[in-house]
């Protein structure tokens, strides 16, 4: 029981520390949220009203504790850009995210286990070193960069699948994929 309570305490501490650091970093970003909401041509009175409405006129510590108390009550708020409730946005995107997660893990295991078994039968061979170097290199690349590279290779270059993002985008390269895009 002591171990469990200590783990819960550490979990709460880490979550609070990470949320505070993230909140501070978002606050340090250049720009003003009031300008994003109202637009560049907004009057100073409109900007002041928006800051007061969203609590942006308070200091960062007060805003953090207001946000933290709302999150503890289950109120995640609304998007400042399109006024969509955050909980509804998470709820709408969660099934697709989980599907991608499961598929990617099954694909990774389906490739990794046979390759690892093959390399285990031939330790320190050239094939083992090549696959080891490829695995190390792929783990060294950030996931968003790897995603872009994989889209470029499999969807645009090899034309194996249709990329499901930015359907209005008209790529110049490769010409074989232009038929997939609809304006």
pLDDT digits (tens, 9 = 90+) for 106-158: 988 999 999 999 999 999 999 999 999 998 988 898 988 888 888 888 888 88
Count of structural domains, the chain: 2
Q: Is the pTM of this model over 0.85?
A: no
User: What 3-state class would DSSP assign to 78?
Assistant: strand
Residue carrying the six token digits 């697709």: 96
Three-state DSSP state, 36: helix
| Within-domain flag for 7 | yes
Lowest pLDDT segment from 21-30, 134-143, 164-173: 164-173
Give a yes or no: residue 85 inside a domain.
no
Does residue 117 fall inside a structural domain? no
Q: Which domain holds residue 53?
A: 2-75
Indicate the residue among 75, 105, 124 that finishes a domain. 75
Alpha helices in the chain (DSSP H): 2-28, 33-38, 44-54, 60-72, 86-121, 126-140, 143-150
């Amino acid at each position: 029981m002591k171990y469990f309570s200590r783990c819960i305490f550490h979990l709460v501490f880490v979550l609070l520390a990470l949320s505070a650091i993230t909140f501070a970093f978002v606050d340090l970003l250049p720009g003003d949220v009031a300008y994003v909401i109202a637009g560049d041509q907004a009057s100073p009175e409109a900007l002041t009203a928006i800051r007061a409405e969203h609590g942006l006129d308070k200091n960062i510590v007060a805003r953090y504790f207001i946000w933290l108390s709302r999150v503890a009550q289950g109120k995640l708020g609304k998007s400042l850009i399109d006024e969509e409730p955050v909980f509804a946005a998470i709820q709408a995107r969660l099934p697709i995210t989980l599907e991608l997660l499961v598929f990617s893990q099954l694909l990774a295991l389906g490739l990794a286990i046979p390759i690892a078994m093959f390399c285990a039968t031939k330790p320190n061979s050239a094939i083992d070193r090549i696959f080891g170097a490829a695995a190390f290199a792929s783990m060294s690349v950030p996931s968003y960069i790897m995603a872009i590279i994989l889209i470029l290779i499999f969807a645009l270059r090899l034309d194996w699948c249709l990329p499901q993002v930015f359907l209005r985008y008209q790529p110049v390269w490769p010409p074989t994929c232009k038929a997939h895009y609809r304006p």
